[in-house]
Amino acid sequence: MTFTDLPKVELHLHHEGAAPPGFIRQLAHEKRVDLSGIFRPDGSYDFRDFAHFLSVYETACTVLQGPEDFRRLTLAILEESAAHGVVYSETFLSPDFCGGGDLAAWRDYLAAIQDASAEAEAKHGITLRGVVTCVRHFGPELAKKAALCAAETAGDWIVGFGMGGNETVGQQGDYAWSFDCAREAGLRLTTHAGEFGGPESVRDAVRVLGVERVGHGVRSMEDADLIRELADCGTVLEVCPGSNVVLGLFPDFASHPIAKLRDAGLRVTVSTDDPPFFHTTMSREYEMLNRAFGWDATDFAQLNDTALAAAFCDDTTRARVQKRLESKEHE
C-alpha cells in the first residue's frame, strides 16, 4: 500500500506552521531579514521544547508581512498537502499574524488566502476552509479582536473559531467571551486542550467553552470519567501524533494513545499540526500509524469518515468532498 495515494481529510493545520523552512528563508532573503537563528545547519527549524517552538514559530511569522506573502504561502501549503493525498483541509488562521487584529487588514489577507485556495482547488482538487484562531498566550483582549474578525467574516469559507498557543497560560474560561462571540456569529468551535494541559483543560474546553472538537485532547487518556463524557458528547479529537512525539509528549508512535482513545469509543481524527516543524506529512502520519498499530486502508477510510462528518464546512461542500474521497478510495 502506498500511503501517499490514499485520500485524506485533515482538520488541524496551522497556516503559518505549515510554512516550509525554505519558503520562510526565501521571504527573509527578499526582505533582508536575518532569521539564521531559527534554523539548524541542515535548513530545518531549530527548537528545543514547546515554549521554544512557539517562539521560533513567531519569529518565522515576522517575514509574513502582507496578503501577497499569505497568497504565496497558501499555494505552497496546498500544493504540498495535495501531493500527500489530502482532499479537504481546515487551516487555522490568526488575525494576530494577518494584520494584527485590524478588521480591514484582516479582510485583505483573507481575500488573498481565499483567492489562492480557489486557484489550488482548480489545479489540485483540494478544498480548503478556514478556522480563525486566537493565540492563548497573547491574552484575552487580543483574542476578542480575533473573534470579532472571525464574526465579521464568518460564512462559507471561514467556518470556525478556535484557540491555539501556550495551554499553560491562563484558563480556557478566560476566553469565553471570544468563543461566545464566534458561536453567535454561527461559527463552529474547537480549542487546543489536553496537549500540554491535563484532562481538566479538556473538560473546561467542552463544558466552559462548549467546543465540539478538541485540538489534540490526548491527555484525556489520563481520566476515565472524561473519556466517558467525551464519548457521550461525541466530541471529536484532532489528534496529531507526530507533533506530540516531536514535542516530547510521548517517546514514539507505539506509545501514543490514539489507538486506545479510538478503542475507548472516542471519535479520533489524524492531522499534522505544523508539518515542516515536526518533519511530517499526512502520508508519514498514516505510515507511522500503520507501523505502530497495523492500521490499514479500512481504518484510514474510517478516520476520513469521522473527519469529514466533523468538518465545519457546509453540507454541499461535505457531499462534494465525500464523492472525491470515495472515488479515490476505490482507485
Catalytic center residues: 195
Does 14 contact ligand ADE by CB under 6 A?
yes
Determine the number of helices (DSSP H) and then strands (DSSP E) in the chain: 13, 8
By beta-carbon proximity to Zn ion, the closer residue of 129 and 325 is 129
By beta-carbon proximity to ligand ADE, the closer residue of 160 and 165 is 165
What character string, x for contact with ligand ADE (CB under 6 A) and - otherwise, covers 104-143? ----------------------------------------
From the CB of 326, what's the least distance to ligand ADE, in Å?
A: 31
Does 17 contact ligand ADE by CB under 6 A?
yes
Q: Scan for cell 483567492, then name that residue.
A: 115
Please answer whether residues 172 and 204 qualify as being in contact, where contact means their C-beta atoms are separated by less than 8 angstroms.
yes
Give the whole-angstrom CA distance, residue 205 versus residue 211.
6
Does 95 contact ligand ADE by CB under 6 A?
no
Residues numbered 45 to 74 that lie near ligand ADE (CB under 6 A) are 57
Does 280 contact ligand ADE by CB under 6 A?
no
By beta-carbon proximity to ligand ADE, the closer residue of 73 and 321 is 73
One-character DSSP codes across 121-157: HHHH--EEEEEEEEEGGG-HHHHHHHHHHHHHHBTTT
Task: Locate 32 and state its grid cell.
Answer: 533582508
Beta carbons within 10 angstroms of residue 29's beta carbon = 12
**Strands (E) located in the chain:** 8-14, 86-93, 127-135, 158-164, 188-193, 213-216, 236-239, 267-270
List residues binding Zn ion (CB under 5 A): 273
Does 204 contact ligand ADE by CB under 6 A?
no
**Which residues form the interface with ligand ADE (CB under 6 A)?**
14, 17, 57, 164-165, 192, 195, 243, 273-274
